[in-house]
């Protein structure tokens, strides 16, 4: 049976998705929790990693070595860098990069989106009126500030901590990667001092810095309920979309897939 790997960027995101899976089995892959289930003729292995580049890279590497999947799908949440991208929108990554010392580097173009996934996205755009975009997923090394978001010259750029790590593992092993991210906040509007950035980013690499930010901006805690509500709502949206995608996914492509009529 064909295999697909899912890389979930956090426990909340993973367990919300697993509500859409009726029968599953919990396994272990090194330090990572794994859930195995069957769907649409595929064996699917979902690995839960931390919100860190190194964790995502290791989880993906171990999964590829174990099951040699036909496709890896990374999913989770992210922060937008353009004012036009709204909370609740979804980004399909077509490239990923890192900013370090103010310089963008380690640029990786992600896999060409397969025809059936493109068809699925088009259906979301046209029939369901979903707001879903192709975009560049940027990882920051530590507390590297993007000072002027308007000068970030990528298509629909968003910030997360995992996609680049997943891409490191898949690109060296020639495994196709599809990355799906739901937008929980907009840094171009809110700035970097917000609960989503503090809890979903800073907390995972420097807890002391995260606590200092909360102590110097205590009024942010009044938005705690809104933070959780938004995160759960967006994660459920991503999970619902991913569940629907897996049910129509077909990896039996003809050799001339580049001639498909579907383009994004």
**Is 64 part of a structural domain of the chain?**
yes
Number of domains composing the chain: 1
**Is 68 part of a structural domain of the chain?**
yes
* pLDDT tens by residue, 182-228: 999 998 888 888 999 889 888 888 899 899 999 999 999 999 999 99
* pLDDT tens by residue, 30-84: 999 999 999 988 999 999 998 888 999 999 999 999 999 999 999 999 999 888 9
| pTM of the complete model | 0.88
Residue 69 to residue 119: CA distance in whole angstroms: 22
**Is 228 part of a structural domain of the chain?**
yes
**Domain containing 225: what range?**
2-251
**Is 257 part of a structural domain of the chain?**
no
Check residue 144 and give its pLDDT: 53
Q: Which residue's entry shows tokens 């997360």?
A: 160
pLDDT exceeds cutoff 80 at 138: yes
**Is 261 part of a structural domain of the chain?**
no
Check residue 258 and give its pLDDT: 37
**Is 190 part of a structural domain of the chain?**
yes
Residue 104 to residue 100: CA distance in whole angstroms: 6
Residue 62 to residue 29: CA distance in whole angstroms: 7
Check residue 143 and give its pLDDT: 55
**Is 259 part of a structural domain of the chain?**
no
pLDDT, mean of residues 139-167: 74
pLDDT, mean of residues 216-245: 94
Within 8 A by CB and 6+ apart from 7, the residues are: 46, 47, 49, 56, 59, 60, 63, 72, 73, 74, 75, 162, 166
Please provide the size of the chain in residues.
264
pLDDT, mean of residues 166-183: 92
Check residue 263 and give its pLDDT: 30
What CATH number is given to the structural domain containing 62?
A: 3.40.50.1580
Kindly report which listed range (76-90, 142-156, 205-219, 233-247) carries the lowest average pLDDT score. Answer: 142-156
Give the residue from 166, 64, 84 showing the smallest Cα distance to 133.
84
pLDDT-based confidence at residue 242 (cuts at 50, 70, 90): very high
pLDDT-based confidence at residue 113 (cuts at 50, 70, 90): confident
3-state helix, strand, coil in the chain (%, to 5): 40, 30, 30
Mean pLDDT of the chain: 86
**Is 262 part of a structural domain of the chain?**
no
Q: Are 90 and 194 in contact (CB under 8 A)?
A: no
Give the residue from 44, 80, 63, 243 showing the smallest Cα distance to 160.
80
pLDDT exceeds cutoff 60 at 146: no
Check residue 147 and give its pLDDT: 52
């Amino acid at each position: 049976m064909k295999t697909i790997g899912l890389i979930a960027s956090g426990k909340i995101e993973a367990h919300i998705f697993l509500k859409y899976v009726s029968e599953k089995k919990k396994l272990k892959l090194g330090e990572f929790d794994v859930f195995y289930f069957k769907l649409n003729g595929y064996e699917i292995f979902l690995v839960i990693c931390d919100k860190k580049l190194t964790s995502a890279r290791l989880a993906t590497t171990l999964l590829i070595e174990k099951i040699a999947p036909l496709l890896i799908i990374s999913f989770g949440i992210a922060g937008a860098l353009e004012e036009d991208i709204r909370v609740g929108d979804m980004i399909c990554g077509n490239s990923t990069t890192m900013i370090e010392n103010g310089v963008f580097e380690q640029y990786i173009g992600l896999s060409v989106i397969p025809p059936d996934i493109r068809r699925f996205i088009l259906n979301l755009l046209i029939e369901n009126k979903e707001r879903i975009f192709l975009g560049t997923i940027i990882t920051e090394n530590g507390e590297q500030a993007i000072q002027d978001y308007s000068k970030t010259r990528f298509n629909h750029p968003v910030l997360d901590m995992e996609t680049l790590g997943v891409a490191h593992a898949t690109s060296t092993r020639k495994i196709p990667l599809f990355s799906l991210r739901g937008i929980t906040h907009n840094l171009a509007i809110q700035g970097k001092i917000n609960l989503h950035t503090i809890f979903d980013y800073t907390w995972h690499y420097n807890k002391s810095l995260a606590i200092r930010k909360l102590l110097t901006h205590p009024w942010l805690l009044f938005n705690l309920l809104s933070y959780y509500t938004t995160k759960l709502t967006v994660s459920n949206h991503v999970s619902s979309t991913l569940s629907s995608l897996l049910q129509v996914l077909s990896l039996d492509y003809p050799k001339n897939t580049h001639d498909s009529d579907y383009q994004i």
